[in-house]
Amino acid sequence: MVGIAAYAAYLPRLRLSRKAIVDAHRWADPGLAGKAKGERSMCNWDEDAVTMGVEASRACLGDRRTTSLIAFASTSAPFADRQHGGIVAGALNLGEDLASIDVGASQRAGTSALLQAFAAVASGQHADALVIASDKRRSKAASAGELDNGDGAAAMFVGSGACALEFVAAHTATVDFIDHFRGAGEDFDYGWEERWIRDEGLARIVPEAVGKALKKAGLGATDVAHFILPSTIRGATASVAKAAGIASDAVADTLAAEVGEAGVAHPFLMLGARLATAELVAGQAIVVCGFGQGCDAIVLRINDAAGARAMGNAYSATLATRVAEDNYQKYLAFNNLVALEKGMRAEKDDFKTALTVTYRKRDMLTGLVGGRCTVCGTLQFPRADICVNPQCRATHTQEPHPFREEKASIVTWSADYLTYTADPPAHYGMINFANGGRFMTDFTDVSVGEIDVGTPVRMVFRVKSYDRLRGFVRYFWKAAPACRAPERGQA
């Protein structure tokens, strides 16, 4: 048996009110008033597809620290030529004896990556696989995408043996149907007319692909208990299900009201939400579809209802981290959609990254690996030649020790309005790790007055800074309130 053994989702804590968006543009387009309902997930300034993928992955893996394959899917990954799966592997200290692949260029990249993982594990080429789907798509102000899109990620651990969700069959149709596109070097998608997408794309391509997948599985449309198909077009998912012969009560919520559409991650966010709310019974069939220049139709079977429910609970947990945001200007600034005067303190001339140092210290910078003295057991970050314990001071005795999952609390903190940050004030200070070790770090995902001495924190992988001249993103670890950790769903 091959299937999904563990699942986790990650949604940024900020949820931007659509009313705030509509109110900003009502003067130019009064017709937007009808879209001023609900909210969409919104990344903090230091989050992107990679950081969200890391958070979803570390929750999905739990205590496991190995995998044979990483498949990273995104259409909004920050690098055009750098493997993002490798960044995730480094952040999670998964070692270097693993395969990785990035999948993109289509909104069905997430489902395609999952199918590749199923095939790799079923064939015996890989013992297991970590599949990550993550998107943070930029859109023009006042565009449909600004209102419809959301930011988010999901991660799934694919293995053999007992799995909560068993892979049964799949069918893929590849059709150069262009519902939208983004040219090389362009920042934003160009979309086509909704009715044409619904009638000529979704209605013609998806039902046929679903029918062929069900035939391979030896099932009929009436056997489908849960149907997953993302679409921002109102009523389109229900219409496609009807055309495929699937019952209306099997159609999953598209999450438009609370998340928006999170690109390649969205089929799996919808899957998590469905597992959290629907009645689950072992043996039920699930059809998960990814649509984009064709269709991936994946048939899964619930093998363990309790495990499937745990996956749903993992989605509910990340949904519950919600913090309302009604500052539309902040959204524009975080997504570099407006030119702000940042002041002289934002001007730095040291943005060029020394790639040699980045490589040599990659375990420390990407993986947050410090040291543990083998003589006295003292932990310290960063690792050094001399133990920091004044009662020890042994030399060359430190072995690598990851601090990523170590519990910590705040020793000192500052909220600084003079130091430049994209989201003032700049919060930073000293933290103590419970098992030993301390260092000065930035805080993220905090509001003024939210933290104090003794506040429990956890380390999160975030953007440290951007070298916009060369297009390089620097990542490092920051401290965030410990109460917002994603959860893992597994059998």
Q: What is the pLDDT of residue 31?
A: 82
CA distances from 488 to 22, 61, 77, 309, 362 (A): 36, 8, 24, 11, 27
Fold of the 345-368+403-484 domain: OB fold (Dihydrolipoamide Acetyltransferase, E2P) (2.40.50)
Sequence-ordered list of residues with C-beta below 8 angstroms from that of 250, at least 6 positions apart, any chain = 224, 225, 226, 227, 241
Structure-block tokens of residue 264:
């390649």
Contact between 342 and 431 under an 8 Å Cβ cutoff? The reply is no
Residue 386 backbone dihedrals phi, psi, to 5 degrees: -120, 135
Q: What is the pLDDT of residue 351?
A: 67
Say what the pTM is. Answer: 0.95
Amino acid letter, 35: K
Amino acid letter, 489: G
Termini Cα distance of the chain: 14
Q: What is the pLDDT of residue 29?
A: 86
Residues of the chain with pLDDT under 70: 345, 347-351, 484, 491
Contact between 266 and 230 under an 8 Å Cβ cutoff? The reply is yes
238-272 pLDDT tens trace: 999 999 999 999 999 999 999 999 999 999 999 99
Q: How many other C-beta atoms can be found within 10 angstroms of the C-beta atom of residue 400? A: 13
Sequence-ordered list of residues with C-beta below 8 angstroms from that of 385, at least 6 positions apart, any chain = 395, 396, 398
What is the CA 458 to chain-centroid distance, rounded? 18
Q: What is the pLDDT of residue 491?
A: 61
- Of the CATH numbers 3.40.47.10, 3.30.70.20, 3.40.50.10880, 3.20.20.60, which one belongs to the domain with range 2-334? 3.40.47.10
- Domain boundary assignment for the chain: 2-334, 345-368+403-484
Of 364, 356, 340, 401, nearest to 475 by C-alpha is: 364
22-63 pLDDT tens trace: 999 999 888 888 889 999 999 999 999 999 999 999 999 998
| Cβ burial 414-446 (10 Å sphere, 16+ → b, else e) | ebeeeeebbbeebbbbebbbeebbebebbbbbb
Strand partners, 224: 285
Prior bond to 78 cis, omega within 30? Answer: no
Alpha-carbon gap, residue 169 to 266, rounded angstroms = 20
Q: ∠6-63-48 over CA atoms, to 5°?
A: 70
Q: What is the pLDDT of residue 398?
A: 95
